[in-house]
Amino acid sequence: MKKTEKILSRDMALMDMYVWRNSLIKGLNKFLGWSYSDVVFYFHDKYSDVVLLSEEHYGKFLKSIIKRIQKNPKWFVRKYDNFLLLTRDFFDFFKKSKQVLKKKNDNKELWSIFYKYSEYMKKHFGPFVIMKWLPIWLENNPSLSKKFFSEIKLAVSARKISEKTLPQGRELCNLICNIIEKRFSNLKGCSRFIDYNELKGLLLNDKAPNLKKIKSRTNGFIYSKKGTLNTGNELKKIKETFNKLGYSHNFTLTSNIKEFGGQSAFLGCVRGTVKLIMVKKEIMDIKNGEVLVTSMTTPEYLPAMKKSIAFITDEGGITCHAAIIAREMRKPCIIGTKIATQILKSGDKVEVDADKGIVKILN
Q: pLDDT digits over 100-124, tens only?
A: 998 888 999 999 999 999 999 998 8
**CA 34 from centre of chain:** 21
Look at residue 174 in the predicted model and tell me its pLDDT.
Answer: 93
| Residue 193 and residue 173 in contact, taking contact as beta carbons nearer than 8 Å | no
Count of C-beta atoms within a 10 Å radius of residue 338:
18
Phi, psi of 331 (to 5 degrees): -120, 140
Q: pLDDT digits over 16-69, tens only?
A: 999 999 999 999 999 899 999 999 999 998 999 999 999 999 999 999 999 999
Angle between helices 61-71 and 75-101 (to 10 degrees): 120
Residues 334, 268: Cα–Cα separation, whole Å: 10
Q: Which helix (H) or strand (E) holds 9?
A: strand 2-10
Mean pLDDT rounded to a whole number for the chain: 93
Q: pLDDT digits over 257-308, tens only?
A: 899 999 999 999 999 999 999 998 899 999 999 999 999 998 899 999 999 9
Sign of the C-alpha dihedral computed for residues 275, 281, 285 and 286 taken in this order? positive
List for the chain the helix, strand, coil content (%; round to 5).
Answer: 55, 20, 25
The DSSP bridge partners found for residue 263 are 335
Look at residue 247 in the predicted model and tell me its pLDDT.
Answer: 96
Residue-range domains of the chain with CATH: 2-227 (no CATH), 259-361 (3.50.30.10)
Q: pLDDT digits over 132-156, tens only?
A: 899 989 988 899 999 999 999 999 8
**CA 108 from centre of chain:** 28
Look at residue 85 in the predicted model and tell me its pLDDT.
Answer: 87
Residues 236, 69: Cα–Cα separation, whole Å: 44
Look at residue 95 in the predicted model and tell me its pLDDT.
Answer: 93
Q: pLDDT digits over 60-99, tens only?
A: 999 999 999 999 989 999 989 888 888 888 899 999 999 9
The DSSP bridge partners found for residue 360 are 259, 351
Q: pLDDT digits over 1-20, tens only?
A: 999 999 999 999 999 999 99
The DSSP bridge partners found for residue 41 are 50, 223
Burial of residue 355, with CB atoms counted within 10 A of its CB: 0-12 exposed, 13-18 middle, 19 or more buried? exposed
Closest to 134 (Cα-Cα) out of 71, 81, 64? 64
Whether the pTM exceeds 0.75: the reply is: yes
| pLDDT at 252 exceeding the cut of 70 | no
> Dmax over Cα atoms in the chain, in whole Å?
59
